[in-house]
């Protein structure tokens, strides 16, 4: 009997060890994080890369992504607790702060560093100059949103007075702007990708300029959360930011074709060649941030853009509603 026990003892020890390991694994379940993105766009390619390449999972996060059209609706979802993190224009955090929120929204990880819209001309023009916009009908974006403000800022810098030099149309909802242009409204329109590439392929006109290039670097689209959420979930926010940094480095190191393959599950109804074209255009002009840090120069440029649009009550120092500690840690530790 003792002999049999000696033979069985090693196997019992192994079984006990495995059961302990299994038990430990079961107790460290992934942390759930709910993201609300303001729209589904290849403009946010690094976000989808973080999901498709398993970067969030590697950090022990179970990320649930939902699209909530419109910055106001996305912010409402964040403030109500329906989502944990919002991916939306950083101007929305400023608007919340200006309203005197008790629990302000804090920007903690930048995703895009340029405006994502392009000037699309109904008539192809390989020799475009900005003065040709004067006297035209211009189909613009919603007033108060970053696309419209970056557009107006650019037009001003090009010597175009939107009140006098063009017929500006701004009363069309974001979701219907492309359809309005396709039906014949406007000589020029301000479009995001992939819509610009789709229209080019359909022969509806040509991209003649980039508002992203002309308006400069700014924290255009940012991951943000309520101050209270960040305070209670610092480890989760750090892991989230680490995953975003990995995705940004991955996007920087890979071709538009490789990135398209990684994000196609999120654009299954879009032609792959269109996705490649859109990503290529964004990569060429450094639209995707290479790290999540929001620097002071970018923030001040953002304030200039919002101030020109008449939407800024006071200049808000970056440190008031920007927390770069997670981004800086991710930049230094993620390689």
- Whether 243 and 103 map to the same domain: the answer is yes
Q: What is the mean pLDDT of the chain?
A: 91
Query: Quick check: is 21 in a domain?
Result: no
Query: Quick check: is 19 in a domain?
Result: no
Contact in structure between 108 and 116 (CB atoms under 8 Å):
no
Q: How far apart are CA 94 and CA 89, in angstroms?
A: 10
Query: Quick check: is 59 in a domain?
Result: yes
- Whether 166 and 251 map to the same domain: the answer is no
Q: What is the pLDDT of residues 54-80, one digit of tens each?
A: 999 999 999 999 999 888 999 999 999
Q: How far apart are CA 163 and CA 149, in angstroms?
A: 14
- Whether 110 and 257 map to the same domain: the answer is yes
- Whether 48 and 94 map to the same domain: the answer is yes
- Whether 225 and 79 map to the same domain: the answer is yes
Q: What is the pLDDT of residues 210-248, one digit of tens each?
A: 999 999 999 999 999 999 999 999 999 999 999 999 999
Contact in structure between 214 and 36 (CB atoms under 8 Å):
no
Question: 182, 215, 248: which is the final residue of a domain?
Answer: 215
Enclosing domain of residue 164: 117-215
* CB count in 10 Å sphere of residue 300: 14
**Backbone angles phi and psi of 30, in degrees to 5:** -60, 145
Query: Quick check: is 25 in a domain?
Result: no
Contact in structure between 77 and 180 (CB atoms under 8 Å):
no
Question: 194, 215, 236: which is the final residue of a domain?
Answer: 215
Question: 215, 230, 246: which is the final residue of a domain?
Answer: 215
Q: Return the residue matching tokens 């200006």.
A: 98
Mean pLDDT, range 144-155, rounded to an integer? 90
- Whether 205 and 229 map to the same domain: the answer is no
- Report the number of distinct structural domains present in the chain: 2
């Amino acid at each position: 009997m003792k002999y049999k026990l000696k033979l069985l003892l090693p196997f019992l020890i192994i079984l006990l060890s495995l059961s302990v390991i299994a038990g430990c694994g079961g107790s460290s379940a992934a942390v759930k994080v709910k993201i609300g993105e303001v729209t589904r766009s290849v403009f946010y390619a690094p976000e989808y890369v973080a999901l498709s390449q398993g970067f969030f999972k590697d950090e022990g996060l179970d990320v649930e992504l939902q699209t909530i059209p419109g910055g106001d609706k996305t912010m409402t979802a964040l403030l109500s607790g329906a989502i944990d993190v919002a991916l939306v224009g950083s101007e929305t955090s400023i608007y919340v702060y200006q309203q005197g929120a008790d629990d302000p929204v804090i920007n903690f990880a930048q995703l895009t560093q340029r405006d994502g819209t392009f000037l699309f001309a109904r008539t192809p023009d390989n020799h475009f100059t900005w003065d040709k916009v004067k006297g035209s009908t211009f189909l613009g974006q919603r007033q108060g949103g970053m696309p419209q403000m970056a557009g107006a800022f650019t037009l001003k810098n090009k010597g175009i007075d939107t009140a006098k030099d063009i017929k500006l149309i701004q009363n069309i909802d974001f979701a219907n702007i492309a359809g309005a242009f396709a039906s014949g409204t406007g000589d020029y329109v301000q479009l995001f990708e992939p819509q610009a590439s789709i229209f080019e392929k359909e022969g509806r006109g040509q991209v003649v300029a980039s508002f992203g290039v002309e308006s400069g670097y700014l924290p255009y689209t940012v991951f943000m959360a309520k101050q209270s959420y960040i305070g209670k979930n610092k480890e989760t926010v750090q892991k989230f930011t680490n995953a975003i940094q990995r995705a940004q480095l991955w996007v920087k190191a890979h071709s538009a074709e490789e990135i398209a393959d990684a994000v196609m599950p999120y654009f299954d109804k879009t032609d792959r060649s269109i996705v490649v074209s859109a990503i290529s255009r964004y990569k060429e002009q450094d639209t995707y941030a290479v790290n999540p840090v929001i620097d002071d120069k970018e923030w001040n440029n953002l304030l200039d853009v919002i101030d020109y649009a008449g939407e800024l009550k006071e200049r808000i120092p970056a440190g008031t509603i920007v927390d770069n500690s997670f981004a800086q840690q991710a930049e230094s530790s993620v390689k």
